[in-house]
Amino acid sequence: MGILDFLSGQFIDVIHWTDDTRDTLVWRFEREGHEIKYGAKLTVREGQAAVFVHEGQLADVFTPGLYMLETNNMPILTSLNHWDHGFRSPFKSEVYFVNTTRFANLKWGTKNPVICRDPEFGPVRLRAFGTYSIRVTGPGHFMREIVGTDGEFTMDEISYQIRNIIVQEFSRVIAAAGIPVLDMAANTAELGKVLSKRIEPTLADYGLSLPELYIENISLPEDVERALDKRTSMGMAGDLARYAQYSAAEAMTESARNPGSGGGAMGAAVGAMLGAQAATIGAQAGGSLQGPSGARPIPPAPPAPVEHVWHIAAEGQTSGPFSLAAMGRKAADGSLTRDTYVWTAGQDGWKHAGDVGDLARLFTVLPPPPPGA
């Protein structure tokens, strides 16, 4: 290798950076002990800035373009070294490339609920989450305040701090807004704008800006949301009397679809109970709707009798429930006797069928044979 090849290998004459990581904010151009030659070419692409650091001091910042590194386009570095315009010697400086493109679709959210006072519900706890974008607008300031001497600074190293800033300001904004919880969904865009304005001064101190910030959702705790759902359901029910009648009809229809010794009887009992409740509620609603004429209210109809259903215990197992008609058929075919243990709702423990009034009538003495038999 000739002496000219050796000398040319000692100096760097092309400085540039192509980023393919998609999350790198700052990357240091590695010299590997080589000096930068006077007159070297510096290529700064769109979405980049090049920062020169000389002997620990931030010297020059270059925006996108192609530069010949000479004294006339490195004024700060020239003044630091007291170079005159006749300077031709190599120099050693650290070169940092800063990504100035927009980093989008970054997530933020509240770890713990934010307590605020709602004009309708009183003190409530709120959670929120959304997305934001960030970009470096002051490369030199960003290097001094955040990066320091980090040779490869990624978005993950600062996203946690930015999220903390957003959540802190969100707590202040939402507490001072005075917007009811039920109206927050309609005001997330305005809240996002107010939040961005509050955050911008803090990020400007870091050399950053916040082009976009979105509040995607503001939610209540799960138990509060369930209570709110119940309140909504009550509002949708409307006329409680008609709703109770509808529920009773649905129960009877379902019972008819599933006939059987047990299910049908149980469904009939439930339907009868709901029907009685519907009649009572309807009567009360009718009485409350009377005008001021002083007319005598119509007395409510008596509730329909509720049919008992029975369970049978035999050989250590239970079966049922059975309606009174089904129990009569069992008594007729001999599968139910006076000594069979039975139980129904409201009864104190198991009893023999012959000791229960409603069932004892099923075991009457058979009539004598008809005349002429």
Mean pLDDT of the 311-316 span: 86
Mean pLDDT of the 207-221 span: 91
CA distance 308 to 310: 7
**The tokens of 23 are what?**
């999350």
Give the model's pLDDT for residue 12: 64
Q: How far is CA 196 from the centre of its chain?
A: 22
Give the DSSP letter string of 99-125.
Answer: E-S-EEEEEEE-SSPEEEEETTTEEEE
Highest mean pLDDT among 102-111, 169-178, 232-241: 102-111
pLDDT tens for 257-307 read 665 544 455 455 545 555 555 555 555 555 544 445 555 666 666 665 567
Highest mean pLDDT among 48-52, 67-71, 81-85, 345-349: 48-52
**The tokens of 279 are what?**
């009649």
Buried b or exposed e, range 315-353, using 16+ CB within 10 angstroms: eeeeebbbbbebbeebbeeeebeeebebbbeeeeeeeeb
The residues, any chain, with a CB within 8 Å of residue 12's CB and separated by 6 or more, are 31, 34, 35, 36, 37, 40
- 358 closest CA partner among 317, 319, 306, 314: 306
CA angle 15, 38, 88 (to 5 degrees): 175
pTM above 0.75, yes or no: no
Give the model's pLDDT for residue 324: 82
CA distance 166 to 164: 5
* Of 77 and 90, more confident: 90
Alpha helical stretches, state H, the chain: 3-10, 75-81, 139-142, 156-177, 188-204, 222-237, 240-257, 263-288, 324-333, 357-360
DSSP conformation class of 143: I
Give the model's pLDDT for residue 45: 93
* Of 14 and 9, more confident: 14
* Of 67 and 56, more confident: 67
CA distance 77 to 336: 109
pLDDT tens for 27-47 read 998 866 557 777 788 899 999
Please name the residue that has the structure tokens 């038999």.
373
Give the model's pLDDT for residue 291: 47
Percentage of the chain lying above the pLDDT 70 cut: 68
In the chain, the amino acid numbered 100 is T
CATH number assigned to the domain covering 103-224: 3.30.479.30
Q: Does the structure show a pLDDT above 90 at 222?
A: no
Give the model's pLDDT for residue 4: 42
Q: Which CATH class is domain 310-363?
A: alpha beta
The residues, any chain, with a CB within 8 Å of residue 148's CB and separated by 6 or more, are none
Pairing state of beta strands 310-314 and 152-154?
Answer: unpaired
pLDDT, mean over the chain: 77
Cα–Cα separations (whole angstroms), residue 60 to 32, 49, 52? 21, 10, 5
Q: List strands edge to edge, sheet with 351-352.
A: 317-322, 310-314, 341-343, 351-352
* Of 271 and 115, more confident: 115
Q: Confidence class of residue 60 from pLDDT cuts 50, 70 and 90? A: confident
**The tokens of 145 are what?**
């305040």
Q: Confidence class of residue 26 from pLDDT cuts 50, 70 and 90? A: very high
